């Protein structure tokens, strides 16, 4: 089980996340929602160990992940929000490097990378440099890099960004399958429909604080609304129809 | 309202800077300085102000250093009377012309990818209501602005300081003015020539090659130009003497060195040119004019072939060739690279060195400098030598592998510090164990793999055939030992994965390091071959080097043992040591 216990993070004296607590059990797909600046990325970075919390701990199987970060990361698959990759490496070379760094054998790397590239329709482009890839292609490389070593914990930060319809559908089904296989999945996204469809539980953040945390069904039942309306109700008190109409008025103005 | 009042000028400036054409010019000027192409530039984005200061500084420093030569009091103290100032200024003027060409050419090479508009410009601009002709002319104006700025910036200091230094012993201000004017004409024209020479090579390649071939060939061409510029700089001390001695029609080699044309022009404007320099001066102005026209034509042709047709070209995500397999590398790899970290990172480092333009350029420059110095050493070795064997056992010939290994090892150590696509290093931050990093052994292995094979494959057989097995073994052993010790010394407290850490900030001891490199070169590549040449006649004398080797071997190991664990952690940010640290007790 992965647990966040009263996590807080401050940048200088500005709080990014405050007293965040949740637990992620095997088989659970926890969706993390929140507007820009709500602390999602900071939370993800603390969960991956890229950032050390100012206060609180992230525990995996009852142990602080900071005690043996290396061992924790071996069991982690992470897809970051932005697809920053080395543009001069080919997709295959990048995956081979990641596999080797993860301690996979050459045969295992070759077998898995070839198959996953094929499944993600990247096989024909595997020897082209990443600099020439589209955003979606880079995203698929990141996804393969995150899953190729069969980790126990998955942290996905906007994983569908740039993916085409087929790849996105495959990925959504993959997330559900991972949940059924007993993996721990933390899924950050802005796309409410996707979170509603693939996640079993939801965590909603606003200004670094958890404002709602429950299963998808319960959150909907409590407020009797769709996830979209629930989210707007909880996070932003904005009349979106009115704002859209105002934008059109500004466009028309001479 | 006064004519010089700032308001009308401000209005005029505001009006023009809002015009689409001038806005585009601004955009292209900024992209030339701040980056272009697909490659990462964040690692070396120094800012326009710092770049201009750095470019101006060589001319200023060299001028100041020359004061010692031209000061009348110092000349009198040295017993130099009735000195012909213009005569002794000739080699220095040639050096300034070469410096101007080298610096300008190097900048043109550095910004090679940013001079022409590329796919990114196409995608951002062509869908806007701007004609491709406007983009063409806007980029051309930006390039012309860049040439003007470079010619001014690179030469400004030398155009004032050098004439001041030279005229220090003269009582007439007119001498200063005349000298400065002629010097300015020479160095500025040399700058313009160097830029347009690189520009025309770029245009030519774009005009005649298909895009993919252009991308592949351009890095090699840039390497050749860098080596040419380094050679030009390194021979600048010898050429003035050769020019002075040249009789009759100008020798063929002078036509290949445009710097000779411009020094000829300066001398002819002062009325001091002999027949050779007079002949060469005739090439300067027509040469510049021809090159400008020629490069504009090629630019137009290249623009039409590459930029206008970008939409018709594939976006490059096509199927690439399968990579070549190296069975010997697969067999040797696990023996040399024992851990998964070393195997993965060795490939990463190798591919970065091969594919990152910035890193390749820095390595080519140091390698080129090494080749030029080695060629000079070889020439000196054979000058006046009685036999091939005697020449090869002179300190100059023995110094060749030392020169090359020193510069390649230093070059590699420097490029390890240059970051590449820093935002992509999250993968290493995520996966590597900071407490058990193996960066030092990895860097050592990269250096050895790039230095030792050719060293053993060339040095040993050459000396085996020339001087027998004993000399060949001793010489090879000494060079390998010295290369190993130098590598060890340079990797003291090295705890970063090459190319993944931020560029180190300028530290107070950076100048000390620079001076240490110069002294190191003297000890490594000058004193050692001197000693070796003497000791090879009595090989037992070589044992005298043993204590030096033991000390050099012991120092890095002692420092490694005394390093605290915090300083052994893998780092991704090389920040300056703070004088005080906030405790942030409120957190």
How do residues B162-214 score in pLDDT, each as one tens digit? Answer: 998 888 777 788 888 999 999 999 999 999 999 999 999 988 988 888 877 88
* DSSP type of residue A154: E
User: How open is the CA angle A69-A70-A73, to the nearest 5 degrees?
Assistant: 85
Three-state SS for A14?
strand
pTM: 0.71
Residues of B with CB under 8 A from a CB of A: 38-40, 315-323, 340-341, 343-345, 347-348, 351-352, 355-356, 420-421, 423-424, 426-433, 435-436, 586-587
What is the Cα–Cα distance from A6 to A58, expressed in whole angstroms?
Answer: 9
Of the given ranges (A140-149, B40-49, B246-255, B498-507), which has the lowest mean pLDDT? B40-49
More confident residue, A125 or B563: A125
Q: In the numeric block, which tokens belong to residue B454?
A: 């050719």
Q: In degrees rounded to 5, what are phi and psi of residue B494?
A: -80, 120
**Contact between A124 and B432 using a beta-carbon 8 Å cutoff:** no
Is 70 exceeded by the pLDDT of residue B314?
no
Count the alpha carbons within 13 Å of B4 in the hemisphere toward its beta carbon.
0
Q: What six digits make up the tokens of B584?
A: 């942030």
- Bridge partners of B74? none
Q: Give the tens place of pLDDT for each residue, B264-278.
A: 999 999 888 888 888
Q: Per the CB < 8 Å rule, is B347 touching A90?
A: no
In b/e form, how buried is each residue of B154-183, taking b as 16+ CB within 10 angstroms? bbbbbbbbbbbbbbbbeeeeebbeebbebb
Range with top average pLDDT, A75-84, B27-36, B78-87, B446-455: B446-455
Residue located via tokens 């603390």: A46
Residue of A nearest to B357 (CA): A88
Question: A128: which 2 tokens?
Answer: 């082209």
**pLDDT of B586 strictly over 60:** no
Distance of alpha carbon B125 from alpha carbon B121, whole angstroms:
6
Helix (H, G, I), strand (E, B) or coil at B575: coil
- Out of A70, A89, A128, whose CB is closest to B433? A70
For residue B43, the model assigns a pLDDT of 45
Q: Which tokens in the block code for residue B36?
A: 């272009």
pLDDT at res. B531: 92
- Structure tokens of B526? 């000058």
What distance in Å separates the CA atoms of residue B429 and residue B500, rounded to the nearest whole number?
9
| A187 close to B (CB below 8 A) | no
- Is the pLDDT at B45 greater than 60? The verdict is no
**Chain B residue whose CA is closest to A83:** B424
Q: What is the pLDDT of residue B311?
A: 62
Average pLDDT value for residue range A219-239 = 67
| Lowest mean per-residue pLDDT among A11-15, B152-156, B240-244 | A11-15
pLDDT at B39: 44
Residue A167: other Cβ atoms inside 10 A: 20
Q: Does A49 touch chain B (CB under 8 A)?
A: yes
Phi, psi of B186 (to 5 degrees): -60, -50
Q: Which two structure tokens, joined as six digits, stand for B563?
A: 């390093």
A192–chain B nearest CA distance, Å: 27
Q: Give the model confidence (pLDDT) of B418-470 as tens digits.
A: 888 888 888 898 888 888 788 999 999 999 999 999 889 999 999 999 888 99
Q: What is the reported pLDDT for A118?
A: 93
- Residue holding tokens 């070209």? B313
DSSP secondary structure letter of residue B171: S
pLDDT at residue B543, as a whole number: 87
Collect all residues with Cβ–Cβ distance below 8 Å to B578 and sequence separation of at least 6. Answer: none
DSSP string, B34-75: H--SSS--GGG---HHHHHHHHHHHHHHHHHHTHHHH-HHHH
Q: Between B347, B426, B432, which is nearest A80 by CB?
A: B426
Interface mutation target, options A87, A122, A138, chain B, most CBs of B under 10 Å: A87
> Which DSSP string do the residues of B454-478 spell out, in sequence order?
HHHHHHHHHHHHHHHHHHHHHHHHH
- At A140-198, the pLDDT tens digits run 999 999 999 999 999 999 888 888 888 889 999 999 999 999 999 999 988 888 888 88
| Residue corresponding to tokens 């609304």 | A225
- B496, B546 contact by CB (below 8 A): no
| Interchain proximity B317–A131, CB inside 8 Å | no
Confidence at residue A226, expressed as pLDDT on a 0 to 100 scale: 66
CA angle B484, B489, B490 (to 5 degrees): 100
d(CA A82, CA A41): 11
Distance separating alpha carbons of residues A40 and A155, to the nearest angstrom? 12
* Tens-digit pLDDT profile for residues B518-539: 889 889 998 999 999 989 888 8
Best of B324, B338, B421 to mutate (most A CBs within 10 Å, chain A) = B421
Task: Tell me what pLDDT residue B587 has.
Answer: 47
pLDDT band at A236 (very low <50, low <70, confident <90, very high): low
Alpha carbon of residue A24 to chain centroid: 14
DSSP B28-45: HHHHHHH--SSS--GGG-
Residue B247: predicted pLDDT: 81
CA distance A100 to chain B (A): 5
Name the percent of chain B lying above pLDDT 90. Answer: 27
Q: What is the DSSP letter of B526?
A: I
Helix ranges (DSSP H) in B209-238: 211-234
The whole-chain average pLDDT of chain B stands at 83
A129 interfaces chain B, CB cutoff of 8 Å: yes
In this prediction, residue A112 has a pLDDT band, given cuts at 50, 70 and 90, of: very high
The alpha-helical segments, DSSP class H, found in B167-274 are 173-208, 211-234, 239-245, 252-256, 258-269
Instruction: For the beta carbon of residue B233, count every other beta carbon within 10 angstroms.
Output: 20
**Which secondary-structure segment (H or E) carries A177?**
helix A165-180
Count of CB contacts below 8 A, A vs B? 102
3-class secondary structure for B472-510?
HHHHHHHHHHHHHHHHHHHCCCCCCCCCCCCCCCCCCCH
A100/B427 touch (CB, cutoff 8 Å), yes or no: no
On the question of pLDDT at A235 being above 70, the answer is no
pLDDT given at position B475: 93
Residue in chain B closest to A13 (alpha carbons) equals B587
The string of pLDDT tens digits covering residues B207-264 is 888 877 887 788 888 888 988 888 888 788 788 888 888 887 888 888 889 999 999 9
């Amino acid at each position: 089980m992965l647990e966040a216990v009263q996590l807080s993070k401050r940048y200088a004296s500005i709080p990014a996340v405050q007293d965040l607590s949740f637990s992620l059990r095997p088989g659970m797909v926890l969706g993390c929602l929140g507007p820009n600046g709500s602390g999602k990325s900071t939370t993800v970075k603390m969960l991956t160990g890229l950032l050390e919390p100012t206060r609180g701990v992230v525990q995996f199987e009852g142990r602080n992940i900071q005690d043996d970060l290396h061992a924790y990361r071996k069991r982690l698959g992470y897809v970051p929000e932005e697809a920053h990759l080395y543009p001069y490496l080919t997709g295959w070379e990048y995956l081979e490097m990641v596999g080797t760094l993860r301690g996979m054998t050459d045969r295992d790397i070759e077998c898995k990378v070839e198959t996953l590239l094929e499944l993600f329709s990247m096989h024909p482009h595997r020897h082209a440099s990443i600099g020439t890839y589209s955003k979606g292609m880079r995203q698929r490389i990141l996804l393969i890099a995150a899953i190729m070593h069969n980790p126990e914990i998955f942290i996905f930060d906007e994983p569908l960004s740039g993916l085409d319809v087929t790849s996105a559908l495959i990925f959504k089904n993959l997330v559900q399958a991972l949940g059924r296989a007993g993996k721990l999945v933390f899924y950050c996204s802005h796309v409410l429909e996707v979170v509603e469809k693939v996640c079993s539980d939801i965590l909603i953040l606003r200004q670094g604080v958890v404002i709602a945390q429950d299963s998808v069904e319960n959150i909907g039942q409590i407020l009797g609304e769709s996830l979209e309306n629930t989210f707007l109700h909880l996070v932003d008190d904005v009349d979106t129809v009115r704002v859209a109409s105002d934008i059109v008025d500004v466009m028309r103005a001479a | 309202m006064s004519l010089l009042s700032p308001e009308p000028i401000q209005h005029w400036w505001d009006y023009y800077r809002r015009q689409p054409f001038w806005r585009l010019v601004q955009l292209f000027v900024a992209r030339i300085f701040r980056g272009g192409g697909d490659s990462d530039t964040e690692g070396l984005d120094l800012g326009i102000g710092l770049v201009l200061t750095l470019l101006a500084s060589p001319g200023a420093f060299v001028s100041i250093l020359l004061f010692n030569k031209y000061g009348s009091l110092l000349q009198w103290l040295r017993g130099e009377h009735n000195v012909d100032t213009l005569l002794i200024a000739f080699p220095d003027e040639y050096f300034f012309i070469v410096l101007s060409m080298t610096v300008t050419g190097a900048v043109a090479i550095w910004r090679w990818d940013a001079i022409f508009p590329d796919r990114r410009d196409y995608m951002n601009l062509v869908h806007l209501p701007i004609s491709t002709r406007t983009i063409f002319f806007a980029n051309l104006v930006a390039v012309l602005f860049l040439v003007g700025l470079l010619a001014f910036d690179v030469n400004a200091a030398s155009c004032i300081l050098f004439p001041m230094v030279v005229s220090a012993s003269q009582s007439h201000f007119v001498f200063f003015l005349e000298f400065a004017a002629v010097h300015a004409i020479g160095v500025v024209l040399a700058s313009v020539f160097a830029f347009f020479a690189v520009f025309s090579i770029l245009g030519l390649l774009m005009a005649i090659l298909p895009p993919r071939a252009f991308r592949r060939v351009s890095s090699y061409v840039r390497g050749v130009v860098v080596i040419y510029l380094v050679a030009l700089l390194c021979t600048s001390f010898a050429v003035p003497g050769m020019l002075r001695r040249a009789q009759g029609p100008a020798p063929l080699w002078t036509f290949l060195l445009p710097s000779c044309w411009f020094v000829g022009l300066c001398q002819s404007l002062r009325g001091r040119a002999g027949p050779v320099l007079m002949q060469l001066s005739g090439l300067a102005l027509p040469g510049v004019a021809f090159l400008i026209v020629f490069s504009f034509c090629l630019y137009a042709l290249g623009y039409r072939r590459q930029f206008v047709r970008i939409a018709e070209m594939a976006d490059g995500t096509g199927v690439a060739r399968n990579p070549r397999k190296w069975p010997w590398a697969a067999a040797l790899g696990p023996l040399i690279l024992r851990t998964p970290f070393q195997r993965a990172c060795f490939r990463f480092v190798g591919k970065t060195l091969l594919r990152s333009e910035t890193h390749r350029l820095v390595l080519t420059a140091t390698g080129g400098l090494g080749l030029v110095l080695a060629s000079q050493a070889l020439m000196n070795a054979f000058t006046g030598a009685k036999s091939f064997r005697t020449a090869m056992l002179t300190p100059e010939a023995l110094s060749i592998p030392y020169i090359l290994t020193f510069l390649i090892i230093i070059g590699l150590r420097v490029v390890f510090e240059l970051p590449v696509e820093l935002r992509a290093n999250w993968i290493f931050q995520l996966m590597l164990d900071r407490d058990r990093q193996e960066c030092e052994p990895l860097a050592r292995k990269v250096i050895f793999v790039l230095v030792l094979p050719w060293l053993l494959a060339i040095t040993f057989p050459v000396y085996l055939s020339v001087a027998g097995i004993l000399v060949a073994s001793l010489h090879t052993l000494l060079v390998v030992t010295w290369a190993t010790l130098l590598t060890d010394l340079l990797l003291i407290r090295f705890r970063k994965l090459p190319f993944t850490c931020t560029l180190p900030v300028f530290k107070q001891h950076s100048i000390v390091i620079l001076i240490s490199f110069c002294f190191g070169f003297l000890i490594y590549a000058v004193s050692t071959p001197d000693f070796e040449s003497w000791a090879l006649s009595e090989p037992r004398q070589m044992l005298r080097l043993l204590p030096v080797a033991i000390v050099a071997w012991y120092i890095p190991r002692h420092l490694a043992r005394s390093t605290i664990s915090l300083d052994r952690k893998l780092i991704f940010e090389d920040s300056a040591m703070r004088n005080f640290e906030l405790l942030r007790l409120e957190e």
